[in-house]
Amino acid sequence: MKVLVSNIMMINERERFDGILRDHGLDPIWPEVNQFMDEAQCLSLAGNFDGWLAGDDQITEQVLKACLPRLKVISKWGTGVDSIDLEAAKTLRLPVCNSPGAFRDAVSEYAMGLLLTATRRLARTDRMIRQGEWPKGRYPGLSGKTMGVIGYGAIGQGVGQRARGFNMEIIAHDPFMQIAPDGAALVSFEDLLSQADVICLCCNQTDENYHLLNAAAFEQARDGVIVVNVARGGLIEEQALVAGLTSGKVAAAALDVFENEPLPMDHPLLSFENVAVSSHNANSTIEAIEFVHENTLENLFKHLAE
C-alpha cells in the first residue's frame, strides 16, 4: 500500500519517516510541498495512494471523491482540520483523524511568550544589545489587564491558565460552549471586544469567522487593544490590523499565523516595532511534536490494518 506524506513536519524528517513507513510494509510518496498542497496539486496525486499523512492541504470534496475508492484514511498531522471538507468526508465514509488537544501546553506557552515579545519588545532589545546599544524602554505590563480568549477549547483554556499566572482577568467567547470548565466568564463577541485589553485568537477558522477581527471589530475594541493570533491567519483582516497599528488603536500584535505564508518580506506588518512575528510554529516543543508524530502514525496504521 502507498501512503502520501504531505505534512511539512514529517517532510522535514523525511529519512526518519520514510524508514518507519517502509518498516511497516508501506510505500511512501513524497511530493514537493511549499507549506501545503493546494487543490490542484492534491488532485494531481489523487487515486494513487491508500493512506494520507496530511498537512494543511486543501482537501476539498472534489479531492476526496478523486481519491476514492482507494483512499482508506486521512491522518492529519496536528489538531486543526479546517482545511478538510469534513462534511464531505463523513458523507463519503472516509475516516479523518487528528490529535485533538495535543498542543494545549505548547501553543499556550508560546502565546504568552509571543505576547511578551510584542509588548515588552524582547526580541528588539536583544537585537539592539547585540548591536552595541543598551536600551531602556517603557512598555505596558499585563498584570491587572483583561485577557479575552476567542475559542476556549484546550489551547484557549491553556492560555487562560497561564494568563492568570500574570494576574490577568480571563473572559472568553466560544459559541460552542455553555459553561467554561475552568470557570472563565463566557461573553458575547461584542462584549469581549469592549472589555478585553488583550484579544487572543485560539479558534478554528471557518467560513463564518473569516476576518473575524476586521475594521468594524477593531472599531468596537478598546483603545490600545493588544492582539495575539496563534490560530489561523484568515481570522484577522490584515489591512484592518495595519490601519489599527498605524492609528494607535491597536497597541501591539503578536502573530504566529498569516493569510499568506511564508510572510512576504515587503509585508507592512514587518514595519512595526510593536509587532512580534513568528513562523506558524507555536507548537514547537519537542514533547508535543513527538506525541503528534506518534499519534498520526498510529491513526494511519490502525485504519490501514482494518
Catalytic hit among 70, 120, 259, 261: 261
| Nearest-5° Cα angle at 169, 167 to 174 | 140
Q: How do the residues of the chain divide into helix, strand and coil, expressed in percent and rounded to 5?
A: 40, 15, 45
- 298 is known as an active-site residue: no
CA–CA distance, 288 with 103 (Å, rounded to integer): 6
Residue whose grid cell is 482508506: 72
User: How many CB atoms lie under 10 A from the CB of residue 211?
Assistant: 17
Which residues lie below 8 Å from residue 254, measured CB to CB, with a gap of 6+?
111, 114, 115, 117, 118, 119, 226, 227, 228, 229, 275, 276
3-state secondary structure of 78: coil
Residue whose grid cell is 458523507: 91
Which residues lie below 8 Å from residue 73, measured CB to CB, with a gap of 6+?
51, 52, 94, 95, 96, 97, 299, 300, 303, 304
Which residues lie below 8 Å from residue 191, measured CB to CB, with a gap of 6+?
171, 173
| The C-alpha cell that represents 283 in the structure block | 507548537
- 293 is known as an active-site residue: no
3-state secondary structure of 176: coil
Catalytic hit among 232, 237, 238, 293: 232
CA–CA distance, 68 with 141 (Å, rounded to integer): 54
Does residue 191 contact residue 213 with C-beta atoms inside 8 Å? no
**Cα torsion 1, 25, 97, 54: sign:** negative
Q: Is 151 exposed, middle or buried (0-12, 13-18, 19+ CB in 10 A)?
A: buried
Residues recognised as catalytic: 232, 261, 280
